[in-house]
Amino acid sequence: MNWFAWRQHRKQFLVFGILLALFAALLIPTSINYWHQYQHALTTCATNPNTPSCSDLSSSLFTSSVDGLVRIGAVLGTFGLPILLGLFIGSPLIAKEYEEGTNKLAWTQSVSRRKWLTVRLAWALGFALLYGIVLTLLITWWSRTLNTMTQYRFIQGHFETQGLMPIAYSMFFTAVGFMTGAWFRKTLLSFAVTFGVFVLCTASFANWIRPHYMTPITVTSEIGPGAIDNKIPAGAWVLKRGDLVNKNGREVSFDVPNFPSECQQYTQNIQVPNGGHIARVKASGVDPVIECLNRYGFHQVAKYQPPYRYWDFQRIEAGIYLGMTALVVGATYWLVLRRDA
C-alpha cells in the first residue's frame, strides 16, 4: 500500500519540492545579504553615531522597491505554500478518486478501506509536516535581520509567517483539503471551501482569537506625546495604544463631547474652519486641552502582550491548529468509512 501511495503522490511531491527550492533561492541570498547590510550599518553607526540614518535604521534599510518585492515574496511564499499544499495535495487526494470512480478500483483490491485511508492520509500529512518544518526553518532564519531590527515578529502578519505556524498551517490546510474532498467528492468545490477556510481562519485568529490567549498587560500614563509609548516594551504586540480614560476610569473616545466642559472650551480655539466641531484632538505639542484633561484626572491606557510571551503564543496557536487537524482527520475517517462508495 505504501508503494502505491508514494506512486500516486510522487509527481506532486516533486513539484512542491521545486517550489520550495525556488523559494529558498529567493530567501537564502537575501537572508545573507540583509544580515550583512544590517551588521555593517550597526558598525558604521557605532563609529559615526551622527550619521542621519542611524537614528532609525528600520526606516533606512531595506526600503528599496526591490526589497519591498522580496519582503512581499517572503510573506506570500510562507502563507502561500501551506495553502497550496491544502489545495493541490489535500483537495484531490480523495475527491479525485470519487470523481473518476477509482475509489471503487482501490477499495476492491485486498486492502481494507480503513487501511487504504490511513496510508494515504499518513503520506499526505507526513509530507505536510516535513514541508512545514523545512519552510519554517528557512523563513525563520531569513527573518532574523528584520526580527532584530524591527522587533515585529509578534504582530499580525509576522507572527503567522515564522516559528511553529508554517508547520501548523501545512498540516491543517492539507487536512481541510482532504476532508472537504471526502465530503463534497468534488475537487473544485473542495478547492473553494479550503481556500475559504484559510481566509476565515487566518483573519479570525489574528483579530479575534489570538489576543485572548493570555490576559494582556495594561499600562496607563498621563496624556502627552510619547508618554504611553515609553511604557510599552519593544517587541510587544500592542492591542490598544493611547485610548483615553476619564476620571471615573471609563474608557472614552478622544471626542470633544467626552471632555469636561472646561476642557471643551479650549477646543473652540482649534475648531476647524468649515464650522464642524472637531472629531478628534491630536495629542501633539503642549496643548491647553491636554493640560486641562490631565488636570481633570484623565489619562491614557495601553494594552499589550509582552515580547516574552511570543513562544507561549506560538505554542498555543500551533496547538489549536494541530487539535483542529486531528478533528478534521477524524471527520475524514467518518466520511470515507461510513458512507457508501
Partner 1 sequence: MGATAIQTKQLGKRYGSFWALENCDISVPEGSVSALVGPNGAGKSTLLKLLVGLSSASKGASEVLGKSPVQHEDFLSDIGYLAQEIPLYKSLNARDHIAMGKNLNKRWDEKLVVSRLKELNIPLDRPVGKLSGGQRAQVALALALAKKPKLLLLDEPVAALDPLARHDFLASLAQAVADGGLTVVMSSHLLADLERVSDHVIVLAAGQTQLCDDIETVLAEHKLLVGPREHAKALGDGVHVIHETFTPKQSTLLVRMSKGAKLPAHMLQHEPNIEEIILAYMGQAKEGGAA
Q: Which residues bind partner 1 (CB under 8 A)?
A: 1-4, 7-8, 100-115, 340-341
For the CB of residue 333, give the shortest distance to partner 1 in the complex, in Å: 13
SS3 224: coil
| Nearest to 118, CA basis, from 184, 178, 185 | 178
Closest CB to partner 1 among residues 110, 261: 110
**Minimum CB distance to partner 1, residue 178 (Å):** 18
Q: Let me know: does 328 contact 172? Beta carbons within 8 Å.
A: yes
- Closer residue to partner 1, CB minimum distance, 91 or 300: 91
Q: Which amino acid is at 300?
A: Q
| 315 and 163 Cβ atoms separated by less than 8 Å | no
DSSP state, residue 279: S
Q: Are 86 and 190 in contact (CB under 8 A)?
A: no
Q: State whether residue 205 is helix, strand or coil.
A: helix
- The answer to whether the CB of 130 falls within 8 A of the CB of 280 is no
CB-nearer residue toward partner 1: 199 or 337 = 337
First to last CA, the chain: 19
Q: Whose Cβ is closer to partner 1: residue 2's or residue 47's?
A: 2
C-beta of 119: minimal distance to partner 1 in Å? 10
Q: How far is the CB of 337 from partner 1 (least distance, A)?
A: 8
DSSP E strands in the chain: the ranges are: 217-221, 237-245, 251-252, 299-305
Of residues 3 and 208, the one with the C-beta less far from partner 1: 3
CB of 10 to partner 1, least distance (A): 11
Q: Which is nearer to partner 1, 100 or 255 (CB)?
A: 100
CB of residue 118 to partner 1, shortest distance in Å: 13
Helix, strand, coil proportions of the chain in percent (round to 5)? Answer: 70, 5, 25
